[in-house]
Amino acid sequence: MSKKTISFVSTRGRGLNTDLQLVKDNLMAALPEVEFEYYLNKTATKIPLINTKMEDARRTFCTEAQNIICMDPSIPIKIPSASERERRLLLATPFDYQFNIFMKYHDNPDQPKKQTFIRCTHVMPGSPFTAKLFHSFYEWEDNVTFLDDIPLPISWDILQEEKRTTVKKQLEFYFPQAKGKKILSILLVGQKPEDGSEPVNLFDNFNLKKIMDYIDDDWFVITNNWDLVEISYQLPYQYSSKFGYIKNKISLNDMMYLSDMLITNSSKHAGNFSITKKPIYYLEYLPKIFGNFIKKFYPSMYLKDLEQLLTLDFSNTELSPEQKNFCQEFSYDPTENPLETIEKLFKY
């Protein structure tokens, strides 16, 4: 008798994101009798023929898979509906595509509903925003189950004290000067030029010293951004007590566990971090649909450039009314462990 399999699928070049990794690790420990398979190929290249072949391969893989866990538009709609015994779970990590769909339907609500996720049997939206988005603008088969009121795995994990303690020790190992300080994380995402041209420093001529003097001494600034690091070389040595670069030391996701304030252009990081009920700001750094969303609906959280850090009150970490609304819209109260919920779903 063949063993039951669970397949992890991603087609956007993201591999196993943090949510999928946490689920995989938990299921491997909880279900040792299960085999695990992976389809993590990127299906969007500059060569149409390759894209077609990769789409065909993905469709074949998903058609033959017993159970699927994914986190983006990964399950093709051109496969049969799931059998009664199959589980096809979507973990709705708040990537930019959600805000792209929201803004399109906000401007034109009479568009036909999308069928993107119609072959999923279970959906974990992770937030009220995504739950409403999916119910409003997507078609679903009659047997779909929404796992509402449950945070996504990474959001749940961010609040776990044991993990927070581990990451804190790691941070203080690399940056002992951060011990006892509040952490301001400036975490930015963006691709390097794909045409082979030299990347442009988007913070060129920015006066980082002015900002560091403005930020209270009880803060330690962490960033993953090389543009900021390049201009940090102009700072006098004593500023090392207030500034650190985490590349190859601590992951971006791990900084979610320790941050007292987050400045980012990533919808994923902002959405995950919202469960902490701590201040969040969007910083304009390369075009993002998420930025358009924040600018329109949460304007006080939108920073058009780093100079606007000078408008923030670093002596106060209380949430503004808009930040409170954002955190409520993008996180559920952590009352149920999503990993245990997923384990029960696939333990049949």
Q: Give the separation between CA 163 and CA 161, rounded to whole angstroms.
A: 5
| Predicted TM-score of the model (pTM) | 0.92
CA 118 to chain centre: 22
**Which pair of tokens denotes residue 261?**
């304030």
Residue with tokens 């990081």: 269
Position 195 scores a pLDDT of 54
Position 234 scores a pLDDT of 83
Closest among 221, 220, 188 to 202, alpha carbons compared = 188
Position 280 scores a pLDDT of 98
Q: Give the separation between CA 300 and CA 97, rounded to whole angstroms.
A: 23
Q: Give the separation between CA 135 and CA 201, rounded to whole angstroms.
A: 41
Residue with tokens 């691709």: 191
Position 191 scores a pLDDT of 59
Position 1 scores a pLDDT of 41
Predicted confidence pLDDT, tens digits, the chain (348 residues): 467 999 999 887 778 999 999 999 999 999 999 999 999 887 777 788 888 888 899 999 999 999 999 988 889 999 999 999 999 999 999 999 999 999 999 989 889 999 999 999 999 999 999 999 999 999 999 999 999 999 999 999 999 999 999 999 999 999 999 999 999 999 999 855 555 566 667 787 788 999 999 999 999 999 999 888 888 888 888 888 899 998 888 888 899 999 999 999 999 999 999 999 999 999 999 889 999 999 999 999 999 999 999 999 999 999 999 999 999 999 999 999 999 999 999 987
